[in-house]
């Protein structure tokens, strides 16, 4: 993490991201709180939904222009000019505040969102340029956390100031807005600082596109059709976009109806309490984003996506059953954690899979689809409110949408989810260190061979590797009813001591496909911590593949609850066990058992003396 933050421009960029979200949110909160004070019931829900729709609509309209700008020009300059645009918009908003022009201020929400829509693809595309693929998950986690802190800070900051300036004698929206006029200068000041810092960001675009934007093609929808084809070309990218779209749709509806629900069902009329509870989701997103970045240390941990979507679904379903603001605050905080776990890997996956030449277009397309979904869901919310449907019904509908989201992501990420859960549970008790990961080639077949110390060895070896390992495992364990489906989906290879030739033939077929195959030559978990006899089974695998053997040695888990040997003097339950895995340099796939055992024994002796 320190290495990424040491890169030139990273801290400056995160401050710019913070100020942009903080300013946008500030104006929206002032308008929403004014609506909350003046209107009740269905009309309040409708107006709140319209405010959110005004924020969303520019992202739909600016799909093609924003993508073109992010691909055509340097992204830091787009952020700089967008910040200048925001200065003039906030001056207009301040004018509307001072003159009590509610509908003008209401409409200026659209212009402020328009600035963000033009800025969005450049902002997210800049992550990959600034920190590179190596830190793409951490970069996305930092941006998501920064944006969320800005939203959280904006909600609390402007709501507290709003309540401080509000008087019970105010009866009209014009009176309230005039009283809030001084807050307009804070919006202006934030935009000016954002512009100044954006002007200092380094240019990272290596090659600038020479494409031209033609208004006629935009108006007739030619760019829309072309860009949408670019977005849908890679199914994995488009699936990630749809998943984000469903998540944001659920979130938008929940936030749009919660104020009225809190007012009518829980009797809460102070905006600080209402906005404060929703702001706790922001704290949760910060925590969840940092967790996702930490759990994606070696690669984008897509297994977190299903964990996040399932958690969100359960929490949304539970909201109508809660009648305490304290419990509600807890639910929103946990909701945010699950949201962070879902958003960071999805955003990182979209950026990672997108070619540089189309990165801006794809990110703009992602914004377009997400906002189409959100706009549609908000319109549905407005219709439900107009027809007099209870807010509880919408919570149940959103839970059903969450179930559909979980179903979609489970089809693609179920194995990664299982591994992510194993990683989370194992890291509660263990600290992992990996030495020699660079020895594992990325473009060749790999046969991993090493010592067998515990039932968790397969998890320990898999954690730092994005490429799925095909483990040879005992056929009886492979056929366990509870876990058989996971072993099969995980492409494990069952092997029997009485009929192993077929298993080794299958291992050869996997290696020919440039896969990673792993087995433990000892054949069983050690009972005394010593390196046991190595069996020659792996030598039966045909050598006719382009690959190498990587010997490994696992140290630190012997004597744990997952090993066969249990010491009488156990370590403190609260002390995490430090486990280190050493990967040796590649050796020939012709290496014999005796030589392999000597190499691993030497590794063991070498590291035990350090």
Task: Enter the tokens of residue 529.
Answer: 């911590």
Helix (H, G, I), strand (E, B) or coil at 474: strand
Which domains are present in the chain?
Answer: 7-203+217-427 (1.20.1250.20), 436-608 (3.40.1130.10)
Q: How much is the pLDDT for 311?
A: 95
Measure the CA–CA gap between 59 and 66, rounded to whole angstroms.
Answer: 9
Between helix 10-38 and helix 235-265 the angle, nearest 10°, is 40
Say if CB 35 and CB 28 are below 8 A apart: no
Q: How much is the pLDDT for 552?
A: 94
| CB < 8 Å & 24+ apart, contacts of 589-596 | 589/447, 589/541, 589/543, 589/545, 589/547, 589/548, 589/549, 590/543, 591/549, 592/536, 592/539, 593/521, 593/534, 593/535, 593/536, 593/538, 593/539, 594/534, 596/449, 596/521, 596/534, 596/549, 596/551
Which letter does DSSP use for residue 442 in this model?
S
| CB < 8 Å & 24+ apart, contacts of 111-116 | 112/23, 112/24, 112/27, 112/86, 113/24, 113/54, 113/55, 113/56, 113/57, 113/58, 113/59, 114/58, 114/61, 114/62, 115/82, 115/85, 115/86, 115/89, 116/20, 116/24, 116/58, 116/59, 116/82
Q: How much is the pLDDT for 476?
A: 83
Average pLDDT of each block of 10 consecutive residues along the chain (610 residues)?
Answer: 76 88 86 82 76 79 75 83 90 92 88 83 79 77 80 81 83 86 92 91 67 64 73 88 91 80 73 73 85 87 94 92 85 92 90 78 78 82 76 88 94 88 84 90 91 89 89 85 80 80 88 91 85 86 90 87 66 75 91 90 73
Measure the CA–CA gap between 489 and 476, rounded to whole angstroms.
Answer: 17
Q: How much is the pLDDT for 206?
A: 55
Measure the CA–CA gap between 560 and 567, rounded to whole angstroms.
Answer: 8
Measure the CA–CA gap between 507 and 512, rounded to whole angstroms.
Answer: 9
Say if CB 345 and CB 301 are below 8 A apart: yes
Say if CB 595 and CB 558 are below 8 A apart: no
Strands (E) in 36-97, as ranges, are none
Measure the CA–CA gap between 472 and 469, rounded to whole angstroms.
Answer: 10
Which letter does DSSP use for residue 199 in this model?
T
Whole-model pTM: value is 0.72
Q: How much is the pLDDT for 573?
A: 57
Q: How much is the pLDDT for 278?
A: 74
Q: How much is the pLDDT for 410?
A: 92
Measure the CA–CA gap between 452 and 454, rounded to whole angstroms.
Answer: 6
* Closest by CA position to 553, among listed 603, 609, 608: 603
Measure the CA–CA gap between 553 and 330, rounded to whole angstroms.
Answer: 43
Measure the CA–CA gap between 131 and 536, rounded to whole angstroms.
Answer: 46
Count of CB atoms situated within 10 Å of the CB of 129: 19
Q: How much is the pLDDT for 610?
A: 60
Say if CB 105 and CB 34 are below 8 A apart: no
């Amino acid at each position: 993490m320190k290495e990424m933050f040491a890169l030139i421009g990273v801290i400056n960029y995160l401050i710019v991201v913070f100020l942009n979200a903080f300013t946008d949110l500030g104006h929206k909160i002032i308008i929403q709180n004014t609506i909350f004070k003046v209107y009740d019931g269905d009309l309040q829900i409708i107006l709140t939904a319209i405010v959110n729709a005004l924020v969303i609509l520019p992202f739909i309209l600016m799909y093609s222009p924003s993508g073109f700008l992010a691909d055509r020009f340097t992204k830091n300059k787009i952020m700089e000019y967008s910040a200048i645009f925001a200065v003039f918009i906030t001056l207009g908003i301040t004018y509307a505040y001072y003159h009590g022009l509610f509908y003008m201020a209401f409409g200026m929400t659209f212009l402020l969102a328009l600035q963000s829509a033009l800025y969005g693809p450049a902002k997210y595309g800049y992550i990959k340029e600034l920190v590179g693929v190596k830190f793409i998950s951490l970069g996305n986690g930092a941006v998501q956390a920064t944006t969320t802190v800005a939203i959280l800070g904006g909600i609390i900051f402007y709501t507290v100031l709003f309540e401080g300036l509000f008087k019970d004698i105010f009866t009209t929206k014009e009176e309230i807005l005039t009283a809030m006029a001084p807050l307009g200068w804070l919006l202006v000041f934030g935009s000016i600082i954002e512009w100044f810092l954006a002007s200092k960001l380094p240019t990272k675009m290596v090659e600038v596109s020479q494409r031209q934007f033609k208004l006629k093609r935009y108006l007739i929808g030619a760019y829309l059709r072309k860009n949408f084809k670019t977005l849908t070309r890679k199914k994995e990218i488009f699936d990630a976009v749809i998943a984000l779209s469903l998540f944001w749709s659920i979130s938008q509806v929940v936030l749009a109806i919660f104020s009225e629900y809190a007012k009518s069902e829980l009797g809460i009329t102070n905006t600080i309490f209402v906005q404060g509870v929703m702001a706790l989701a922001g704290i949760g997103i910060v925590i969840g984003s940092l967790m996702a970045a930490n759990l994606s240390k070696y690669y984008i941990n897509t297994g977190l996506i299903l964990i996040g979507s399932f958690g969100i679904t359960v929490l949304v379903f539970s909201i109508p059953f809660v009648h305490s603001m304290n419990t509600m605050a807890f639910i929103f905080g946990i909701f945010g954690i699950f949201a962070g776990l879902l958003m960071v890997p999805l955003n990182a996956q979209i950026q990672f899979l997108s070619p540089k030449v189309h990165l801006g277009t794809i990110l703009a397309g992602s914004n377009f689809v997400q906002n189409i979904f959100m706009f549609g869901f908000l319109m549905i919310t407005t219709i439900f409110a107009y027809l007099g449907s209870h807010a509880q019904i919408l919570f149940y509908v959103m839970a059903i949408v969450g179930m559909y989201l979980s179903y979609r992501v489970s089809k693609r990420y179920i194995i990664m989810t299982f591994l992510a859960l194993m990683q989370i549970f194992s890291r509660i008790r263990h600290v992992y260190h990996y030495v020699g990961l660079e020895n594992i080639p990325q473009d060749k077949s790999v046969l991993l061979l090493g010592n067998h110390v515990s039932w968790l060895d397969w998890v320990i070896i898999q954690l730092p590797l994005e490429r799925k390992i095909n483990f040879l495992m005992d056929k009886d364990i492979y056929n366990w009813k509870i876990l058989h489906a996971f072993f099969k989906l995980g492409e494990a290879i069952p092997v029997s001591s009485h009929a192993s030739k077929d298993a080794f033939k299958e291992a050869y077929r996997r290696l020919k496909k440039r896969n990673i195959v792993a087995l433990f030559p000892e054949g069983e978990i050690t009972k005394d911590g010593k390196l046991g006899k190595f069996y020659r089974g792996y030598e039966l695998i045909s050598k006719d593949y382009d690959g190498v053997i990587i010997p490994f040695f696992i140290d630190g888990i012997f004597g744990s609850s997952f090993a066969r040997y249990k010491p009488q003097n156990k370590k403190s339950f609260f002390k995490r066990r430090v486990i280190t895995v050493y990967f040796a340099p590649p050796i020939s796939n012709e290496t014999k058992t005796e030589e392999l055992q000597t190499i691993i024994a030497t590794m063991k002796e070498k590291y035990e003396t350090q």
